[in-house]
Copies of this chain bind each other. A is one copy, B any other.
Amino acid sequence: MEQQKLHSIDLKKIRIKDSFWSKHVNLVKDEIIPYQWDAMNDRIPGAEPSHCLDNFAIAAGRQTGEHYGAVFQDTDIAKWLEAVGFSLAANADSKLEETADEVIDLIAEAQQDDGYLDTYFIIKEPNRKWKNLCEGHELYTAGHMMEAAVAYYQGTGKEKFLNVVKKLADLLCETFGEEEGKIHAYPGHQEVEVGLIKLYYVTGERRYLDLAKYFIDARGVGENYFLRERKEPGYRNIFPELVDYQPTYSQSDRPVREQNAAEGHAVRAAYMYSAMAELAYEYQDQELMDACVRLWNNIVGKQMYITGGIGASGILERFTTDYDLPNDCNYSESCASIGLAMFGIRMANITRDAAYIDTVERALYNTVLAGIALDGKSFFYVNPLEVWPDNCMERTSKEHVKPVRQKWFGVACCPPNIARTLASMGQYIYSAGEAELYVNLFISNEAEIDLGSVSVQAEINTKFPFENEVEITVNHVPLDGMTLAVRIPQYARNYQVMTDGKAAAYCVEKGYALLTLDKDIRITVSFEAPAEYVRANPNVRADCGKAAVVRGPLVYCLEEIDNGKNLSELYVDTSREIEETDSELFGGIKKLTLKGKRIGEADWNEGELYGRHPLTLTDVTLQAIPYAYWNNRGMGEMTVWVRELV
């Protein structure tokens, strides 16, 4: 950590206009924000009620009534406001801003004099504040409020919401910590750490950072707080699945520095690791950094789906064990992949190592995009890699797997989380240093980027990921020069950087091509990343004997609509070429054509389950589409991994 950490760019100063991403990014302002606003106002027919705004109105004393919804229902509003903040940074919208300001007024009114802000406890259990840290989600909710307020402040410059969360954060600083008289505890669902750190970055108030560090340092040390808390009189178990609580669920079974493998609830883990990375840097805590590296390597090397999904178990939405990656009953929550991207970009900014971005890109281009329909109106929480709709039945071991995207959920974490991620893609595209501009992702945009005290203009033009040529322009290069670092993706072959018609000089460091600029420049980066078959480490039992098709960052899949029923009958012939063709599907993709065989059913009679019939194979031609776009053409089977002919 000798180098200075890279930082995200100002989202107000980037305009994304990308052939691949813009249709998704635009959904945020055009569809998701209005849709989520309707959802929070309970105006979506057939969707579970949110009651979120009513809860705040009741807490504010504007209306009477009961709290409705989960203990973390307030986060609906926080995540909406965060997306609005990011969206307003990119696109001014006075009407939206006015609506958001009104919501913020409501939140401010609901906040109590001491800074407390959680409508569930204000309305329903005012005497139980901070008494159920394990399940009550007060600190989780506070963290999302902080993230939202920071985004809104950065997007609009308005401080009202920021002041609300500062007051809340001040209350947390008074309430939690190692000093006598404070509660010696840590959050049941990590998230406030990330929020406090962001709040520190915009306010400079060191105590917020210190509190985040306290939460991380205290976690899992000594007697488990949550187990102790449950024994207190009045403790009420909220979530049935947590009746018999095990600290591994919340990564609190041991000190974070002693954790070697990702375990427990995947979203909790990823949010915590994100905070750990930033704290490691801020406090130059190598031991903490080592833990981050170990945990990252465990996830990426042993517990991650090829789509960037994490969390193999449907029960408790959790990590299980190394190489346990079942394809049809996994959880792989959209939020967990967002958490992985959050963790990864922080690690990349600290280490300047492009390997982290390879995984960030994998998560964003596959699981995160698959989490939202192309019309922006329905969402996956669970992201299986193989779906047979018939057996995604309620009250079975596959009940968590939904074969079609769902409308707004009761537990509405994923939809707004996807929205805020899409609305803040700029943070992933570039990272900036004092005199270095890092290009992480190949997404067309125009940006003005602060490098130390100067500001450069950057522009990317590309049709990536379907074409692998990226034009990068940097203007206003400072007189004393700068470094342009362009990522070399792990899948790129014959990587070339051209300028003025000739090869540009660069050196390679940790997966980036480093160019020294002393004047404005336009470069063209090109590489080959043809569609190809990949295999999984044979320790991944579920994928043994199978292959998947990838093309650059995109994982492809087979859908029933293109390939008929029963995709399990298929084999791919990995020795044959994969054919790429342009298709107008999904706003324009490269569709892939594979050669393979299909097991015949002709010998089998209805109701004949086992027998000696020979295996009969017929030649078939298969069509694959990006996993990001599956289930946009009705319900049907889907698979990423296909058995290969040997």
Q: How far is the CA of A532 from the CA of B611 in the complex (A)?
A: 10
A516 located at the interface, meaning its Cβ lies under 8 Å from any Cβ of chain B in the complex: no
Check if A320 sits within 8 Å of B599, measured CB to CB: no
How many whole Å from A312's CB to the nearest CB in chain B? 8
Q: Do B535 and A610 touch across chains, with their CB atoms under 8 A apart? A: yes
Verify if A67 is at the interface (C-beta below 8 Å from B): no
* CA of A232 to CA of B28, assembled, Å: 48
CB atoms of B532 and A612 under 8 A apart: yes
Which of A82-90, A267-275, A387-395, A587-595 forms contacts with chain B? Answer: A387-395
Kindly state whether residue A468 has any CB partner on chain B within 8 Å. no
Is A313 interfacial (CB 8 A cutoff)?
Answer: yes
Tell me if A361 is interfacial: C-beta within 8 Å of chain B.
no
CB of A320 within 8 A of CB of B645, answer no
What's the minimum C-beta distance from A446 to chain B, rounded to whole angstroms? 34
Is A62 positioned at the interface, with any CB of B under 8 Å from its CB? no
A318-B396, A396-B316, A646-B615 given as contacts; is B608 within 8 A of A388 (CB)?
Answer: no
A173 to B539, CA, bound (A): 59
**Which residues on the B side are within 8 Å of A329 (C-beta)?**
326, 329, 397
* Interface 9-residue window, one of A127-135, A433-441, A540-548: A540-548
The answer to whether B612 touches A399, judged by C-beta atoms less than 8 angstroms apart, is no
- Which chain B residue lies CB-closest to A329? B397
Quick one: copies of this chain in the complex? 2
A328: nearest chain-B partner, CB-CB: B326
In chain B, what residue has the closest Cβ to A246? B395
Does chain B have a CB within 8 A of A315?
Answer: yes
Q: Does A191 contact B (CB under 8 A)?
A: no
Assess whether B301 is in contact with A396, with CB atoms less than 8 Å apart: no
Q: Per-position contact with B for A246-266: 1 when CB-CB < 8 Å, else 0?
A: 100100000000000000000
The answer on a CB contact under 8 Å between A534 and B610 is yes
Residues of chain B within 8 A of A607, CB atoms compared: 297, 300-302
Assess whether A98 is interfacial by the CB under 8 Å rule: no
Give residues 594-646 of A contacting B (CB, 8 Å): 597, 599-601, 604, 606-613, 615, 617, 643-646
Alpha-carbon distance A328/B568, docked complex (angstroms):
16
Chain B hits for A316, CB < 8 A: 395-396
Q: Is A147 an interface residue (CB 8 A)?
A: no
Chain A 529-580 residues near chain B, CB threshold 8 A: 532-542, 544-545, 548, 566, 568-569, 571, 574
Instruction: For A536, list chain B residues within 8 Å (CB).
Output: 609-610
Kindly identify which residue among B243, B390, B604 contacts A538, using a CB–CB cutoff of 8 Å.
B604
Q: Which of B243, B304, B545, B615 contacts A609 (CB 8 A)?
A: B304
Chain B residues, CB < 8 A from A234: none
Q: Does A233 contact B (CB under 8 A)?
A: no
Is residue A4 within 8 Å, beta carbon to beta carbon, of the partner chain?
A: no
How distant is A552 from chain B, measured CB to nearest CB, in Å? 14
A569 touches B540 (CB 8 A): no
Q: Please report the C-alpha to C-alpha distance between residue A574 and residue B574 in the assembled complex, in whole angstroms.
A: 22
Q: Any chain B CB within 8 A of the CB of A240? A: yes
A41 at the interface (CB under 8 A from B): no
Contact between chains at A615 and B535 (CB < 8 Å): yes
Q: Shortest CB–CB separation between residue A310 and chain B, in angstroms?
A: 12
The answer to whether the Cβ of A321 comes within 8 Å of any Cβ in the partner chain is yes
Determine whether A306 belongs to the interface, using a CB cutoff of 8 Å to chain B: yes
A612 with B535: in contact, given A329-B329, A646-B645 (CB under 8 Å)? yes
A–B complex contacts, Cβ < 8 Å, 16 sampled:
A240-B243, A246-B394, A301-B608, A302-B607, A329-B397, A535-B611, A537-B601, A541-B568, A544-B569, A544-B643, A545-B568, A545-B571, A545-B643, A597-B646, A617-B646, A645-B646
The 9 residue pairs across chains A and B that have the minimum distance between CB atoms: A301-B607, A313-B396, A541-B568, A544-B568, A324-B391, A314-B397, A313-B397, A537-B604, A538-B599
A246-B394, A541-B566, A544-B599 known; 17 new pairs, CB 8 Å cut-off, are A300-B609, A306-B610, A313-B398, A315-B396, A320-B391, A320-B396, A326-B397, A534-B611, A534-B612, A535-B615, A538-B599, A539-B566, A544-B568, A545-B599, A548-B610, A571-B646, A615-B646
A residues in contact (CB < 8 Å) with B: 240, 243, 246, 249, 297, 300-302, 304, 306, 312-316, 318, 320-322, 324, 326, 328-329, 388, 390-391, 393-399, 532-542, 544-545, 548, 566, 568-569, 571, 574, 597, 599-601, 604, 606-613, 615, 617, 643-646
